[in-house]
């Protein structure tokens, strides 16, 4: 795996850190995309210590800021001409409604729109790779999700479950739509449910303090460790078993059948167009 490059978003804790460590162990040059310099540097030191690899670097990226995402993509492309793996791992769930710096409700803004823009800005480096892979960390919460086209930023009626479930359905719709649009390339796009993982997803983005909660309360009566939760993401990023497989949803390293509302291609295309408009995608950035 020498000379292969991977980006992991939300890499400073939980599954993101675990994914970073495992990819580094497997010989990838890993870029940790983190919002906080302080927490990112601490996580970088821990990743180097646990992986035994020095081929790990920190690059700042705030998925709640379109300008920060664009700056990250510009810097990456100045330093690297190829991207082998993009793991869109970062995620939030907000007890109270909050907005990003661009005025998006935070769950849809960070969990979906931020990763939507980041991925599209990195399509060309992914195409240069022998077999570029995009791995989107979704959740079984997508099953309860609905895209609220009449009020996607939930100005009128907000609750954290509604918000989070919408964003996780968004991850699935994005995965399938992007896979279709890249079907004539070597780039694959897949998503996953990590299981019921104890992570820092409920921690306040500004202060770093808050309550650790499950990414999704599944049928399991216990929390998985971040390492266990990261297992399927690492599998989709590295395994020869999924070469050429795209547009699928996985749990515990096995493909799962999606619910009917998650395979509605017309809804996915409508949502794609809405997403392009929200992030201000330029004509030459569109697929």
Catalytic residue IDs:
164
- β-strand pairing of 198-199 with 213-214: antiparallel
Helix axes 226-238, 14-25, angle to 10 degrees: 50
**3-state SS class at 136:** strand
Residues in the chain: 287
- β-strand pairing of 133-137 with 85-88: parallel
- 190 - beta bridge partners? 135
Query: Does residue 110 contact residue 129 with C-beta atoms inside 8 Å?
Result: no
CB < 8 Å & 24+ apart, contacts of 249-255? 249/138, 249/172, 249/175, 249/190, 249/191, 249/192, 249/193, 250/190, 250/191, 250/192, 250/193, 251/140, 251/192, 251/193, 251/195, 252/195
In the chain, what are the helix, strand and coil shares in percent, each to the nearest 5? 45, 15, 40
Note the helical H segments in the chain. 14-25, 37-51, 66-79, 106, 115-121, 123-128, 160-181, 226-238, 265-279
**3-state SS class at 245:** coil
Query: Within 10 Å of residue 224's Cβ, how many Cβ atoms?
Result: 21
């Amino acid at each position: 795996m020498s000379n292969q490059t991977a980006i992991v978003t939300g890499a400073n804790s939980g599954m993101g850190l675990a994914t970073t460590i495992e990819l580094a162990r497997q010989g990838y040059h890993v870029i940790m995309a983190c919002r906080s310099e302080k927490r990112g540097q601490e996580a970088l030191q821990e990743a180097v210590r646990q992986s035994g690899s020095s081929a790990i670097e920190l690059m700042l990226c705030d998925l709640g800021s379109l300008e920060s995402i664009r700056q990250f993509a510009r810097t990456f492309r100045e330093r690297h001409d190829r991207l082998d793996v993009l793991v869109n791992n970062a995620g939030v769930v907000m007890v109270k409604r909050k907005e990003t710096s661009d005025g998006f409700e935070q769950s849809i803004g960070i969990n979906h729109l931020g990763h939507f823009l980041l991925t599209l800005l990195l399509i060309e480096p992914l195409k240069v790779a022998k077999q570029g892979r995009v791995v989107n960390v979704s959740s079984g919460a997508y099953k309860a999700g609905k895209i609220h086209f009449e009020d996607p930023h939930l100005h009128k009626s907000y609750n954290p479950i509604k918000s989070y479930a919408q964003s996780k359905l968004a991850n699935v719709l994005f995965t399938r739509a992007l896979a279709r649009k890249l079907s004539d390339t070597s780039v694959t796009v897949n998503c996953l449910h990590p299981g019921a993982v104890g992570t820092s997803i409920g921690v306040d983005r500004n202060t770093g303090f808050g309550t650790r909660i499950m990414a999704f309360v599944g049928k399991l009566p216990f929390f998985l460790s971040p390492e266990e939760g990261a297992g399927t993401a690492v599998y989709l990023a590295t395994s020869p078993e999924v070469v050429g497989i795209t547009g699928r949803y996985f749990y515990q390293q096995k493909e799962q059948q999606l619910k009917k509302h998650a395979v509605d291609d017309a809804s996915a295309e409508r949502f794609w167009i809405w997403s392009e408009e929200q992030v201000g995608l330029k004509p030459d950035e569109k697929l």
